[in-house]
Structure 1
Amino acid sequence: MSETDTIDRVITCERIHNFRDYGGYSTSHGRLRSGWLYRSAQHFDANAADLARVSGLGLAVVIDLRGRSERREAPCPRPDGFDAEIVSIEDETVTQAPHIEAARAEMTAEEARASMANAYHTMPFRPVLMQLYTRYFEKLAEVDGPSLIHCLAGKDRTGIAVALLHHVVNVHPDDMMADYLLTNVTGNIEARVRAGGRHVKARMGEMSDDALRALMSVEPMFLQNGFKAMAEQYGSIDGYLSEGLGVTPERRERIIARLTV
Structure 2
Amino acid sequence: MINDALTLATVPNFRDLGGYPAETGRVRSGLLFRADTLSDIGDSDLAELQRIGVRQVIDLRTAFERESAADRVPAGAEYTVLDVQREHATGGDLASLLADPERAGTELADGGAERFMHAVYRALAGTGDAADAYRGLVERAAYGPLPLVFHCFAGKDRTGWGAVLLLSLLGVGSDAVIADYLASNDRLEAAAARLGGLAESMGLDPALVAPLMDVRVDYLHSAFDEVERSYGGFAGYLADGLGVDAATVAALRERLLEPAE
TM range (shorter): 0.7 to 0.9
Deviation string for 1:130-162 (max 9, x for gaps)?
Answer: 222111111111135211110111111111111
Preserved contact between residue 93 and residue 126 of structure 1 (Cα < 8 Å): no
My pick for the range that moved more, 150-159 or 136-145, is 136-145
> Which stretch has the larger CA shift, 12-21 or 101-110?
101-110
The AA in structure 1 aligned to 2:153 is L
Q: Does 1:239 align with 2:236?
A: yes
- Aligned partners of 1:69 and 1:92 also within 8 Å: no
- Alignment CA distance shift 1:94-1:24 (3 Å): farther
Cα pair 1:18 1:154 within 8 Å, conserved: yes
- Within 5 A, what are the aligned runs for 1:182-197? 182-186=183-187, 189-194=188-193
Partner of 1:33 in structure 2? Answer: 28
Counterpart Cα distance in 1 of 2:36 and 2:76: 20
Q: 1:16-55 to 2 correspondence within 5 Å?
A: 16-55=11-50
CA offsets per residue over residues 161-190 of structure 1, 9 Å max, x none? 11011111111011111110000113xx34
Aligned to 1:224: 221
Deviations 1:6-43 (A, max 9, x none): 3x426432322311112211111100111111111111
Q: CA deviation at 1:77?
A: 1.7
Query: CA distance change for structure 1 residues 99 and 221 in 2, over 3 Å: closer, same or farther?
Result: farther
Deviates more, 1:93-102 or 1:224-233: 93-102
Distance 2:153 2:48 in 1: 19
2:57–2:73 Cα contact (<8 Å) kept: no
| Partner secondary structure for residue 76 of structure 2 | coil
Distance 1:94 1:185 in 2: 29
Are the aligned partners of 1:141 and 1:258 in contact in 2 as well (CA < 8 Å)? yes
Distance 1:170 1:89 in 2: 24
Equivalence for 1:85: 78
Specify the SS of the correspondent of 2:105. coil
SS at match of 2:7: coil
Measure, in 2, the Cα distance between the counterparts of 1:14 and 1:159: 20
SS at match of 2:45: helix
2:222 & 2:156 partners in 1: Cα distance? 15
Distance 1:109 1:175 in 2: 33
1:209, CA displacement in angstroms?
A: 2.6
Matched residue SS, 2:12: coil
Task: Determine if contact 2:90/2:120 at 8 Å carries over to the other structure.
Answer: no
- Shift of the 175–228 alpha-carbon distance from structure 1 to 2, 3 Å rule, reads same
Question: Within 5 Å, which residues of 2 pair with 1:199-214?
Answer: 205-214=202-211
Query: Residue deviations 1:105-133, cap 9 Å, x none?
Result: 26359542343123212232333322221
The alignment covers a number of residue pairs equal to 250
Amino acid at match of 1:64: D
CA-to-aligned-CA distance 1:75-100 (integer Å, 9 cap, x gap): 01234xx1111111578264364692
Structure 2 gap ranges (5+)? 99-103
Query: Given the two structures, how large is their TM-score scaled by the length of structure 2?
Result: 0.85
> How much has 1:57 moved relative to structure 2?
2.7
* Equivalent position of 1:58 in the other structure: 53
One-letter code of the match for 2:253?
I
Counterpart in the other structure of 2:101: none
Q: 1:98 to 1:172 in 2, by over 3 A?
A: farther
Q: Which AA in structure 2 matches 1:161?
A: G
What SS class does the counterpart of residue 89 from structure 2 fall into? Answer: coil
**Partner amino acid, structure 1, of 2:39:** F
Q: Percent identity?
A: 30
Give the gaps of 5 or more residues in structure 1.
Answer: none
Q: Residue in 2 aligned with 1:255?
A: 252
TM score, norm. by length of structure 1 = 0.85
Instruction: Write the distance in 2 (CA, Å) between the matches of 1:92 and 1:18.
Output: 23
Report the 3-state secondary structure (helix = DSSP H, G, I; strand = E; otherwise coil) of the residue aligned with 1:161.
helix
